[in-house]
Amino acid sequence: MSQHTVAQPRTVGLTAASPSGWWRDAVIYQVYPRSFADSNGDGMGDLEGIRTRLPHLKELGVDAVWLSPFYESPQADAGYDVADYRAVAPMFGSLLDADALIRDAHALGLRIIVDVVPNHVSDQHTWFRQAVQEGPGSPLRRRFHFRPGKGEDGELPPNDWESIFGGPAWSRVTEPDGTPGEWYLHLFAPEQPDLNWEHPAVDDEFRSILRFWLDMGIDGFRVDVAHGLVKAAGLPDIGTRDQLKLLGNDAMPFFDQDGVHEIYRGWRKVVAEYGDDRVLVAEAWTPTVERTALYVRPDELHQAFNFHYLSTYWDADELRDVIDGSLDAMRPVGAPTTWVLSNHDVTRHTTRFANPPGLGTQIGTEGDVRLGLRRARAATLLMLALPGSAYLFQGEELGLPDVVSLPDEVRQDPSFHRANGQDGFRDGCRVPLPWTVGGSSYGFGSGGSWLPQPEDWGGLSVEAQTGEPGSTLEFYRMALAIRHEHSALGAGESVEWLHAPAGVLAFCRIAEDGQRFVCTANTTKDPVSLPVYGQILLASETAGIRVSESQAVLPPDSTIWWTG
């Protein structure tokens, strides 16, 4: 069995032949600024830290970098509570640092996507502070959802909506005269008041914010809670408790309302003023892939995260259903399908797959760590063979597991504290990255790290894995290099399924030049026998592969790329 040797990854130049479509099959790497690299020793990652580590991303072979928020913010929700959309929080640096980061990334051929948070602002945002100070009847209150309370003295919230982070979705303000007053809506933490998108000033402000960052040279936006901006008229009661359990499955009066699409038609025009290679990516949790497809119609956003894929377990039947469903849903609107396994809001896929199915995307137990990593590598190889764009979350290239042992007192996720730990394990995937085998915070920075790193973190570091045959880092580098080299990977809008035994996926892609490419994924715990599909390009697990003239044995929980 010979493994393909890969030269250097293709240079991803910004002047590529078809710049308008770079995002269609791009591999986009999410950087979580707090936890990537700390340049000034304050224990918190920053923009300068990211800039100095860009060569790692270049060498990894990704096309673009998505940065989670680094704006001025009191950090009630790790920066998703923005106080000033045009300023960088001092803990992350300055606008000059942002400029240097964007320029350096471009010089390396890496594109930069930034987060925009339009559903809510921080309670420290000038608009909200003034709205509270000016009291009931202030025109500024109309930019938010202020309402009088129910009950004799207005002591009850205006409706029964629950916050995504637990507890009621309403908080009551104290009016300037010191009396308990109106209530305001916050789908997330109380420090994140929801904006009223019916108000023209809100729309104007966000078009201006988009332009500000487009003028800074960024290549696109990831739109936070893209499905939440418009609320059902009259803010009707839902009528049930435990509404968190309904999310993603049922129609909710505060999510996925048809009115959001008009907003994105406007945004598309703004972005189009800057040419056709700046992109808008929706974070839209919807009940079905068909509903997700509505966000990426030709005059709306360019891409939407495929959370249906992210929520799927390592199971051949379920994976095939979601792959077919996603491709079928996107084809009519002409948008590329996207694929994602991990991000800053869910338990890393290494840990999800280390645990039994049915536990969802927030898991607090480490499970079978070796099995989890093995399946995670197999799942990554499967994902990178699918047509469309793929999103990676920092640290998955190191095979990092979620850190499930964090003591409660160090956790910062507001959902952990508001939901009594029920559904708030997001700190576990946010632990700062290990860069070196030893040293302070394993090379993350010189002053420790804002969340404690486990003691064995050095063995998973970039330094430990670089040049190490079979390491997860070298495996990712090779997979991305091959993906760039073989046009059949990532391109197109469908896969041709091949006959395969239960628990196994096998599909074929044909490149424009006629080259045939096959991906086989064995999701079972047993070896399986399949026809030989040509030469092996890459395998997520080499031990146990046996190839005779016509038959090959695939190891359990593994994926293989073939060509020929």
Q: Enumerate binding residues for ligand NOJ (CB under 6 A).
A: 77, 80, 117, 188, 224-225, 283, 344-345
Hey, how many other C-beta atoms are within 10 angstroms of the C-beta on 486? Answer: 19
Rounded CA-CA distance 114/121 in Å is 16
* Residue 193 CB, nearest approach to ligand NOJ (Å): 12
Rank residues 219 and 224 by Cβ distance to ligand NOJ and give the closer one. Answer: 224
Rounded CA-CA distance 82/218 in Å is 19
* Residue 91 CB, nearest approach to ligand NOJ (Å): 17
Buried b (16+ CB within 10 A) or exposed e, 236-258: eebeeeebbeeebeeebbbbbbe
Structure tokens at 75: 């950090």
Rank residues 30 and 523 by Cβ distance to ligand NOJ and give the closer one. Answer: 30
Rank residues 64 and 225 by Cβ distance to ligand NOJ and give the closer one. Answer: 225
* Residue 341 CB, nearest approach to ligand NOJ (Å): 15
Rounded CA-CA distance 141/132 in Å is 7
Rank residues 103 and 417 by Cβ distance to ligand NOJ and give the closer one. Answer: 417
Rank residues 60 and 229 by Cβ distance to ligand NOJ and give the closer one. Answer: 229
* Residue 71 CB, nearest approach to ligand NOJ (Å): 12
Rank residues 114 and 225 by Cβ distance to ligand NOJ and give the closer one. Answer: 225
Residues 506, 520 contacting (CB under 8 angstroms): yes
* Residue 120 CB, nearest approach to ligand NOJ (Å): 7
Rank residues 25 and 224 by Cβ distance to ligand NOJ and give the closer one. Answer: 224
Rank residues 188 and 435 by Cβ distance to ligand NOJ and give the closer one. Answer: 188
| DSSP 8-state code for residue 525 | S
Rank residues 77 and 423 by Cβ distance to ligand NOJ and give the closer one. Answer: 77
Hey, how many other C-beta atoms are within 10 angstroms of the C-beta on 215? Answer: 9
Residues 184, 440 contacting (CB under 8 angstroms): no
* Residue 345 CB, nearest approach to ligand NOJ (Å): 5
What phi and psi, each to the nearest 5 degrees, are found at residue 32? -100, 100
Hey, how many other C-beta atoms are within 10 angstroms of the C-beta on 396? Answer: 23
* Residue 79 CB, nearest approach to ligand NOJ (Å): 9
Structure tokens at 288: 């079905």
* Residue 411 CB, nearest approach to ligand NOJ (Å): 14
Q: Give one DSSP letter per residue of 278-345, joined into a string.
A: -EEEE----SSHHHHHGGGSTTS-SEE--HHHHT--S-HHHHHHHHHHHHHHHGGGTPPPEEES--TT
Rounded CA-CA distance 402/454 in Å is 10
* Residue 285 CB, nearest approach to ligand NOJ (Å): 9
Residues 540, 560 contacting (CB under 8 angstroms): yes
Rounded CA-CA distance 364/263 in Å is 37
* Residue 188 CB, nearest approach to ligand NOJ (Å): 5
Rank residues 26 and 281 by Cβ distance to ligand NOJ and give the closer one. Answer: 281
CA end-to-end span of the chain: 14
Q: Which residue's beta carbon is nearest to the bound ligand NOJ?
A: 80
